[in-house]
């Protein structure tokens, strides 16, 4: 169903929204994007708080290889992405403190994981006809939110809703563990269980975010909104909600921009997030400077 | 291409390998790149700067795309962006590492934005998926004669600078305080070294790509430093391993038609794993009662 002519952007935002949502692919993108952004913003808040930024980077690499591996085996891409990220997230978490601070070993392993992904990509594009000259790889790396099928969008949105609910269920003990693990353990919080649950949620969120912004750009949705929120408020649940709201705002604005300007949505989402982060940082510096002068 | 298979006659294999101009260029550039990457990588691991290396490579990605976009050499774009990134890191004056919360969030945001910028540049150029893959994962095709010259020039300059600052750099890396007290200009040397890393990253990206440079810049050095503590020997071993990975990777890629990045990262990973297992086994052998804590 394609409306006859694409109207240009007008100052009447309600008309614009109606126009944007008149397309199936935009409906799918908004559906998947909104819930993914919510989950990513919320989980990302804990990722930044727990200083696990580079775990999510590594999981993005795993998603690339897992997704292409599934395609190669004739399975659903989503299945491979979810299975691989959740398995590796839990694996990394249970190896626990042993893996921390060993960036050489981790870097070597994940460079190899990506290398395997490249092999899969090459095998996939050379063995399957009609795979579009290797665009499958690009869409995993940089996202394909405007190309989602209705079923994919529905699955992604449902997974994101489950992730969000799961996070709310463990939000309070997880916060306690993240801020002061020793005291939390002494107070009887089941530290190991909550940590594993969080890692499962993290793996699932990365898998969802890969759909929206791509394996390489998940930072833009998982880390940047949370980093902005933590600069703006020190109150934890306020920050958590702000992070989720910012992520949704970036996705909506990014989708709208991509609708009118024919460049990748993931670029706009990432650029908006980064610009806001930069503005918050500069604003914070200026405010601090004024405070020092006054 | 009328390509014959691999045989036991190594001389004939070598002739096959060198019969095409693109392969001569790839081997030439690969060798130059591996030598510089090995030499720089030794100090990168010694100084614990593998994360800064990772960061510079991703900052280089939009540089390569911009080079393509404005019709100059992508290597030139890589060099400009990587050196600018190195100066940026040097200018903030702090050591970039993945361990600090605020910093890793900031770095993560910058990385996502710079990859997204690279994607935008590629779309502006209307480049194919293969073009993006080449810079993300490396390629043995399309290295031009002018790239060879540029690479040769940067390698010579890089090695000359290393020869001049090698000794104070080693001193400053092992014991910065003592070096400072002895009159070594530690800060100037560390900025000079970051620029060297940038040059080396820019070169390496053209063969094995933005996402896989760990395999040449970090893993050989990490492996060598597990085998010997003597700096001269370690440096030589690092360069030898790096060149070995590169040559075998290029040769296998040529005969198998699968991506070079996969083979280089797999060789690096396997070697690193073998050395770690070997060291762990020999330590168990000598001290059977002690736990192998690393």
Is B133 touching A (CB cutoff 8 A)? Answer: yes
Query: Which has the higher per-residue pLDDT, A38 or B50?
Result: A38
Sign of CA dihedral B242, B248, B251, B252: negative
User: Residue B42 above 60 pLDDT?
Assistant: yes
Tokens standing for residue B147: 């790239």
User: Are the C-beta atoms of residues A288 and A281 closer than 8 Å to each other?
Assistant: no
Nearest to A219 among B109, B124, B211 (CB): B109
Is the pLDDT reported for residue B100 higher than 70? Answer: no
- Count CA atoms closer than 13 A to A201's CA, side-chain side: 29
CB B109, CB A220: distance < 8 Å = yes
Q: Would you say residue B91 has pLDDT above 80?
A: no
Whether residue A11 is predicted with pLDDT greater than 70 in this model: the reply is yes
Q: Which two tokens stand for residue B114?
A: 């710079």
Q: Are A193 and A169 in contact (CB under 8 A)?
A: no
Residue B139, in any domain of the structure: yes
pLDDT confidence band for B103 (50 / 70 / 90):
low
Mutate to test the interface with A, among B49, B52, B95, B109 (most CBs of A within 10 A): B109
> Tell me, what DSSP letter sits at residue B97?
-
Average pLDDT over residues B98-118: 75
Distances in Å between the Cα of A281 and the Cα atoms of A277, B94, B118 are 6, 17, 24
Residue B14 resides in a domain = no
Domain that holds residue B47: 19-286
Can you tell me which residue has the tokens 């397309």? A23
Write down the pLDDT at residue B102: 61
Q: Quote the percentage of chain A above a pLDDT of 70.
A: 90
Q: What pLDDT was estimated at residue A99?
A: 45
* Average pLDDT of the segment spanning B91-114: 69
Residues 197-226 of B with CB under 8 A from A: 211-215, 218-219, 222
Q: Residue B4: its pLDDT value, please?
A: 57
At the fourth CATH level, the homologous superfamily of domain A13-126+133-293 is ABC transporter involved in vitamin B12 uptake, BtuC (1.10.3470.10)
Mean pLDDT value of segment A269-293:
87
Annotate A51-72 with b (16+ C-beta within 10 A) or e (fewer): bbbbbbbbbbbbbbbbbbbbbb
Give B281 to chain A, closest Cα distance, Å. Answer: 18
For the segment A263-268, the average pLDDT, to the nearest whole number, is 88
Which two tokens mark B209?
């790509």
The 10s digit of each residue's pLDDT in B257-280 is: 788 888 999 999 899 889 888 888
Contact B133 A121 (CB under 8 A): yes
* B23 pLDDT above the threshold of 60: yes
Residues in chain B: 294
pLDDT at B26: 87
Q: Is the pLDDT of residue B160 over 90?
A: yes
First to last CA, chain B: 50
Alpha helices in chain A (DSSP H): 13-20, 24-49, 53-72, 77-95, 103-127, 135-142, 150-179, 181-186, 191-212, 218-222, 224-232, 236-260, 265-293
Burial class (CB in 10 A: 0-12, 13-18, 19+), A143: buried
| Most B CBs within 10 Å, among A108, A218, A272, A278, to test the B interface | A108
CA distances (Å), origin B253, targets A136, B219, B248, B264? 22, 20, 8, 9
Rg of chain B in Å (alpha carbons): 20
Residues A121, B259: Cα–Cα separation, whole Å: 9
| Contact assessment for residue A229 and residue A221, using Cβ atoms and an 8 Å cutoff | no
Tokens of B128: 């194919």
Alpha carbons B191 and B174: distance in angstroms, whole number: 16
Provide the angle, in degrees to the nearest 10, between the axes of the packed helices A53-72 and A24-49.
140
Instruction: Report how far residue B135's alpha carbon sits from residue B118's, in angstroms, rounded to the nearest whole number.
Output: 10
| Cα–Cα–Cα angle for A131, A136, A140, rounded to 5 degrees | 170
Which of A10-14, A96-100, A250-254, A258-262 is modeled with the greatest confidence? A250-254
The total number of structural domains in chain B stands at: 1
Mean pLDDT is lowest, of A14-18, B18-22, B116-120, for A14-18
Exposure letters B117-128 (e unless 16+ CB within 10 A, then b): bbbbbbbeeebe
Average of pLDDT values for B47-61? Answer: 84
Query: What is the pLDDT at residue B291?
Result: 43
What ipTM is given for this predicted complex?
0.81
Q: What is the pLDDT of residue B49?
A: 82
Q: Provide the pLDDT for residue A95.
A: 63
Q: What is the pLDDT of residue B123?
A: 79
Nearest-CA neighbor of A53 among A250, A227, A210, A231?
Answer: A227
Picking from B112, B266, B272, the nearest residue to A219 by CB comes out as B112
Q: Is residue A276 predicted with pLDDT exceeding 90?
A: yes
pLDDT of amino acid B19: 80
pLDDT band for B5, please (50, 70, 90 cuts): low
Region B14-33: what's the mean pLDDT?
Answer: 85
Across chain B, what does the average pLDDT equal? 82
B123 CB neighbours in chain A (<8 A) are 263-264, 267
Over residues A204-254, the pLDDT tens digits come to: 999 988 888 888 888 888 899 999 998 898 888 899 999 999 999 999 999
Question: B37 CB near a chain A CB, below 8 Å?
Answer: no
Backbone angles phi, psi at B196, to 5 degrees: -60, -45
- Nearest in space to B212 (alpha carbons), one of B222, B223, B201, B199: B201
C-alpha neighbours within 13 Å on the C-beta side of residue B231: 12
Has residue B185 been placed in a domain? Answer: yes
Residues B263 and B255 sit within 8 Å (Cβ to Cβ)? no
For residue range A129-170, list pLDDT tens digits in order: 554 555 777 778 888 888 888 888 898 899 999 999 999 999
Decide if pLDDT at B2 tops 50. no
Sign, CA torsion B52/B57/B58/B60: positive
- Tokens 């052998």 locate to B285
> Is the Cβ pair B109, A264 closer than 8 Å?
no
- How would residue B145 be classed by pLDDT, with cut points 50, 70 and 90? confident
**Alpha-carbon span A86 to A84, nearest angstrom:** 6
* Residue B148 belongs to domain with CATH number: 1.10.3470.10
Label residue A98 by pLDDT band (50, 70, 90): very low
Which tokens is B230 given? 């003597």
Compute the C-alpha angle B221/B226/B232, nearest 5°. 60
Q: Give the number of residues written for chain A.
A: 294
Helix axes A24-49, A150-179, angle to 10 degrees: 10
């Amino acid at each position: 169903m394609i409306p006859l002519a694409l109207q240009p952007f007008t100052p009447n935002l309600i008309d614009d929204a109606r126009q944007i949502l008149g397309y199936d692919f935009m409906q799918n993108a908004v559906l998947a994007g909104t819930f993914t952004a919510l989950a990513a913003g919320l989980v990302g808040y804990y990722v930044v708080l727990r200083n696990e930024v580079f775990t999510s980077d590594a999981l993005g690499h795993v998603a690339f290889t897992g997704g292409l591996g599934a395609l190669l085996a004739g399975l659903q891409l989503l299945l491979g992405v979810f299975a691989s990220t959740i398995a590796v997230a839990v694996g990394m978490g249970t190896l626990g403190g042993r893996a921390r601070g060993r960036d050489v070993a981790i870097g070597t392993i994940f460079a190899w994981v990506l290398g395997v992904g490249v092999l899969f990509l090459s095998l996939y594009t050379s063995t399957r006809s009609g795979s579009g000259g290797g665009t499958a790889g690009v869409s995993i790396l940089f996202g394909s939110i405007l190309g989602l099928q209705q079923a994919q969008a529905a699955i992604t949105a449902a997974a994101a809703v489950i992730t969000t609910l799961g996070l709310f269920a463990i939000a309070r003990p997880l916060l306690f563990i993240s801020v002061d693990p020793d005291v939390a353990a002494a107070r009887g919080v089941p530290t190991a269980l909550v940590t594993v649950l969080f890692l499962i949620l993290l793996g699932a969120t990365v898998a969802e975010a890969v759909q929206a912004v791509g394996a390489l750009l998940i930072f833009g949705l998982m880390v940047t909104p949370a980093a902005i929120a933590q600069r703006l408020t020190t109150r934890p649940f306020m920050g958590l909600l702000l992070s989720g709201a910012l992520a949704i705002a970036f996705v909506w604005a990014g989708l709208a921009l991509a609708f009118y300007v024919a460049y990748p949505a993931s670029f706009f989402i990432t650029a908006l997030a980064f610009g806001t982060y930069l503005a918050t940082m500069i604003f914070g510096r200026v405010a601090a400077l004024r405070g020092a002068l006054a | 291409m009328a390509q014959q298979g691999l045989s036991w006659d190594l001389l004939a294999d070598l002739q096959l390998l060198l019969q095409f101009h693109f392969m001569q260029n790839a081997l030439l550039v690969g060798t130059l790149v591996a030598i510089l990457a090995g030499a720089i990588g030794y100090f990168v691991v010694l100084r614990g700067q593998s994360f800064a290396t990772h960061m510079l490579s991703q900052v280089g990605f939009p540089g390569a795309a911009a080079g393509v976009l404005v019709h100059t050499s992508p290597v030139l774009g890589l060099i400009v962006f990587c050196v600018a990134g190195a100066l940026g890191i040097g200018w903030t004056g702090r050591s970039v590492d993945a361990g600090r919360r605020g910093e890793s969030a900031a770095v993560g945001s910058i990385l996502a934005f710079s990859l997204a910028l690279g994607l935008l540049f590629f779309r502006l150029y209307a480049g194919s998926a293969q073009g993006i893959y080449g810079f993300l994962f490396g390629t043995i095709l399309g290295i031009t004669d002018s790239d060879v010259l540029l690479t040769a020039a940067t390698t010579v300059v890089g090695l000359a600078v290393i020869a001049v600052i090698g000794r104070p750099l080693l001193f400053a890396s092992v014991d910065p305080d003592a070096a400072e007290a002895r009159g070594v200009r530690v800060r100037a040397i560390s900025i000079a070294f970051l620029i060297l890393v940038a040059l080396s990253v820019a070169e390496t990206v053209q063969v094995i790509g933005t996402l896989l440079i760990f395999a040449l810049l970090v893993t050989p050095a990490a492996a060598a430093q597990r085998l010997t503590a003597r700096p001269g020997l370690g440096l030589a071993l690092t360069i030898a391993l790096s060149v070995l990975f590169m040559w075998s990777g290029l040769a296998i890629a040529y005969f198998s038609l699968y991506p070079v990045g996969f083979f280089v990262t797999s060789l690096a990973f396997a070697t690193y794993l073998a050395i770690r297992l070997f060291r762990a086994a020999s330590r168990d052998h000598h001290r059977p009662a002690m736990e192998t804590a690393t």
